[in-house]
Structure 1
Amino acid sequence: MRPTEPNTAFCHTLSVQQRDIDELGHVNNVVYLRWVQEVAAAHWEAVAPAELKQQYSWVVLRHEIDYLRPAFLQDTIEGYTWVEPAQGPKVARHVRLYRAGSQELLAQAKTSWCLLDAASMRPKRISEEIASTFSPPA
C-alpha cells in the first residue's frame, strides 16, 4: 500500500503490452480506462465469496478519469482501488494507477458502479454483507 491510499486499498498489477501503445509511442488513453475496470473486477474477484459473485453483477454508471503521465511499453503498473460507503445500489470507486517501483501517479479515476441482481438484472441495494467484503477486518 502507498501512503496516499487508505489502508483498505486493494492492489492489482498490470503489464503494458504492445497492443496498448498508440501512434505517439505511449499507452493509449482508452487502455487506462480498461485498466480501471480490470482493477475493479480483480478487487471483486479477490474479495467476494463465490455465492455473492453468482447472485450479483456490477455495471458502470460513470467514469471520471484524469490522465497525469504516460506509460510505456514494458512498464509494470500497480493499480490501487477502494470504495466509498454505498448509497443504495450505488458505490463510488477510486482507482489510482502508478508506475511500479516509483511514486509516479499515471492516472486516477473515480467511477460510479451499480449493483445488479444477476437473475433479474435489476438494481439491488448494497447490503452490509456486500459492503463489508470491500474492507478487510481491522
Structure 2
Amino acid sequence: MGLIFEKKIKITEEHIDLNNHVNNVQYVKWVEEVAGEHWDTVKDHLSFPFDIWMLLDHHIQYKRQVYLGDVITIRTYPKPPEGIRQPRKVEFYCNDILVVDSLTLWVFIDRETQKVKRLDAGWLELL
C-alpha cells in the first residue's frame, strides 16, 4: 500500500504518433489506467473497496517529447479532498525530467446507491 504509486513503461511503436513521439492521447489513457491500478493496490485495505471513482475533470500539460525506446516513470498520488471532489496528480518522468503533468478531479460513487459519496480527508492516511 502507499500514497504514491509508480509504474515504468518502455515506449513502443504502439505509443508513437506520426510526429515520431508519444501520442498525446496516449498520456490521457495512461492517466486513467494508472489511477485505476493505484486504486486496485489499496482498495482492499479500506472499508469501501467496492465503490467506484468517476472522472470529472482533466487538466494536462505537455512539457517535453518522449520517443521510441525511452522509458518513462509514471507517478500518481491523491491530494486532499476538496468537498466531494478528489484531486489526483499524475506525473510522467523520462530520465528524471518531468515531461507531462496532469491533475484530475474525481468523485467517489457508492456502488449500491449510485450516489456521490464524500470522503473525509483522513482517508488518505489509511493508504
Q: Aligning the two structures, in what range does the TM-score lie when normalised by the shorter sequence?
A: 0.7 to 0.9
The number of aligned residues is 125
Choose from 50, 57, 66 the match for 1:62: 57
Instruction: Structure 2: state its 5+ residue gaps.
Output: none
Q: Distance in 2 between matches of 1:57 and 1:133?
A: 17
- CA drift of 1:128 comes to 5.8
Secondary structure, counterpart of 2:27 in structure 1: helix
Choose from 96, 99, 105 the match for 2:91: 96
Q: Could you tell me whether the CA contact under 8 Å between 1:27 and 1:70 is conserved in 2?
A: yes
Q: Distance in 2 between matches of 1:27 and 1:117?
A: 36
Q: Distance in 1 between matches of 2:59 and 2:119?
A: 22
Q: Distance in 2 between matches of 1:30 and 1:67?
A: 11
| TM-score, normalising length: structure 1 | 0.79
Q: How does 1:34-73 map to 2 (within 5 A)?
A: 34-49=29-44, 52-54=48-50, 56-73=51-68
Letter in 2 for 1:98: Y
Instruction: Structure 1: state its 5+ residue gaps.
Output: 1-6
Q: Distance in 1 between matches of 2:78 and 2:24?
A: 23
Q: CA RMSD in A?
A: 2.1
In structure 1, the residue matched to 2:108 is 115
| TM-score, normalising length: structure 2 | 0.85
Q: Distance in 2 between matches of 1:61 and 1:48?
A: 20
